[in-house]
Amino acid sequence: MRIDGTSPVSEGLSGQGADGSTLVRSGENTLADVASRLGVSVEDLKNANPQLAGLNELSPGTEVRLPEGKTDDGHATGDGDKDKQARTDSGASKRMEGNLDAAAMRGILFSSLGSSSSSSSSSSSSAVTPQDGTGADGGTVKQPPITLPHGTEGYSPAVKKDLTEKLQSLNDNPQFKALSPTEKDTVLKALTSDPKLDDEKKAKTLDLLGSTKDLSAGDRQIALDGLKGAKADPKYAENLKKIIDDPKFKSLSGAEKTAVLSQAKNYPDARTAGNIDRMLHKDWFTSQSLDDKQRSLKTVARFSANPVGDRKLIDNTLDKFLGDKADYKLVWKTYPSGNGTTFGEGADKTLWLNKGIVAADNDKMVENSNTGRLSLNTVAHEVNHLVNDDKVAKTFGYFQAEYRAWFVGFQSQNGRAPTNQEAMEQRLRWQLNPDSFYGKYAGEAMKDPDEAKKFYDFLGNVTGMKVDASNWKDVVNTSKPEDWKSKSTDPAPTPTGNIDNH
């Protein structure tokens, strides 16, 4: 690289470089800007400047080699070029006049880049640093340092220096060098999202890059965006690589691959990426249409990545569908619209979910009460019915089974047991409402005095009140939590049976 100019440093740099080159002018930040001024294609300019093609931003005064047969004013060169000698003489004059200022500017720029350079007053041209780091005289030239991306401005100088040194080896990595400027920027943002960059994080990232090379450009960018979202978490990078290398993934259509990578990006969590890979091996998933695959990917990803849910309960539930010996399957179904919304149902080791609630696309699942209930609650709720082999009956046992499944779904979504007040307001009133599906079975059960007593005792545990045939309806429908003998904020009674979906 060479700096030449006729104006004092304080006034900027001339656009005239050595013969066969030009200098980046003020306001030009990329090779595309320079190509526009010269009237040449960006690709030709990149080919003529391999030492610059990977830089995200150019600095004024940086020397840019011209494509063969071009001058810095865009004209083609040749024996018939009448202006050639004038330009050469003018360029030589400017270089001599600006000798002192050019030397000063070289020192400033080379110091900021961490590069070394030698100049010769007798030469009117300079050697561009080769990509392999070998100088014109056969010596070794230090590569320009990696430029830290936006987002690191708040880091201390010491942290920036440390990150720059640790990232420098990327200049020699073929996988990184093969990326586009946008992709390189994404990788750098991923690696510098945390000021503590360790060897494992960098190694796993480079391993992932080796797998992404066979993806389409669009899918590769999605994968790198996921890495950035995960802040280059080594376990996430490892699991994402596992997805991309998986023969099951490779056998998918282009649209299906994009769907898989999109949800791994939308929910950039290592455990979630691992669950997505497990799902690729399940017959119930591979047999689905693209639309239903998109719904399944969204639902499993959001459920798996729930940051506040009961982790053990979530993992146990997913293992029923994704484990090595899993024999449960997920099916999407169209339910008619009516007075209420059916979120899902379970029978014979099959979970049916309402496809009208989850959109079939590659976006992140829209977050509202319906999608939240289906993905974070209903899945665990219905699986709980399946693992307990619950059957509809006119008994307190069936009432308890429905309460248990609701209790499990609540814990799955919220990571805690419901309170007494939440149990009464969100579930018990509905289960005891004679107009609801469950209420008619509870009403029939309560005609049996022995069964009825079980209902009264349960309501007494929730409220702390004495409940019997004379007041149970008032306790359920009109009593105020502040009048209860028990604390309304205490955990609701723990149901019997399997409550963690093991």
One digit per residue, pLDDT tens: the chain, 502 residues?
Answer: 333 333 333 333 344 454 578 888 877 888 888 887 888 888 888 888 877 766 777 877 788 888 876 666 555 554 444 444 444 444 433 333 334 343 333 333 333 333 333 333 333 332 333 334 444 454 445 566 788 998 899 999 999 999 999 999 998 899 999 999 999 999 999 999 989 899 999 999 999 999 999 999 999 999 999 999 999 999 999 999 999 999 999 999 999 999 999 999 999 999 999 999 999 999 999 999 999 999 999 999 999 999 999 999 999 999 999 999 999 999 999 998 766 789 999 999 999 999 999 999 999 999 999 999 999 999 999 999 999 999 999 999 999 999 999 999 999 999 999 999 999 999 999 999 999 999 999 999 999 999 999 999 999 999 999 999 999 999 999 999 999 999 999 999 999 999 999 9
Residue ranges making up the domain that contains 64: 9-113
Distance, in Å, from the CA atom of 295 to the CA atom of 334, rounded to the nearest integer, reads 13
pLDDT (0 to 100) of residue 61: 76
pLDDT (0 to 100) of residue 72: 61
Distance, in Å, from the CA atom of 129 to the CA atom of 144, rounded to the nearest integer, reads 10
pLDDT (0 to 100) of residue 122: 34
Residues 6+ apart with CB under 8 A from 456: 467, 468, 469, 472
Six-digit token string for 326: 């899993």
In-domain check, residue 449: yes
Is the CB of residue 191 less than 8 Å from the CB of residue 151?
A: no
Is the CB of residue 220 less than 8 Å from the CB of residue 257?
A: no
In-domain check, residue 272: no
- Of the three residues 80, 96, 113, the one that is the final residue of a domain is 113
The answer to whether the Cα torsion of 176, 179, 185, 186 is positive or negative is negative
Six-digit token string for 132: 């392999």
Is the CB of residue 294 less than 8 Å from the CB of residue 256?
A: no
Q: How many domains does the chain have?
A: 2
In-domain check, residue 66: yes
In-domain check, residue 459: yes
Distances (CA, A) of 103 to 1, 2, 20, 335: 12, 10, 20, 77
In-domain check, residue 424: yes
Cross-strand partners of 390? none
Distance, in Å, from the CA atom of 448 to the CA atom of 276, rounded to the nearest integer, reads 49
Whose tokens are 């969100």? That residue is 426
In-domain check, residue 409: yes
Is the CB of residue 208 less than 8 Å from the CB of residue 240?
A: yes
pLDDT (0 to 100) of residue 89: 44
pLDDT (0 to 100) of residue 15: 47
Whose tokens are 């400027």? That residue is 181
- Of the three residues 84, 113, 142, the one that is the final residue of a domain is 113
pLDDT (0 to 100) of residue 117: 35
pLDDT (0 to 100) of residue 59: 77
In-domain check, residue 41: yes
DSSP E strands, 185-250: none
- Of the three residues 98, 113, 128, the one that is the final residue of a domain is 113
pLDDT (0 to 100) of residue 31: 83
In-domain check, residue 14: yes
Six-digit token string for 239: 């699991």
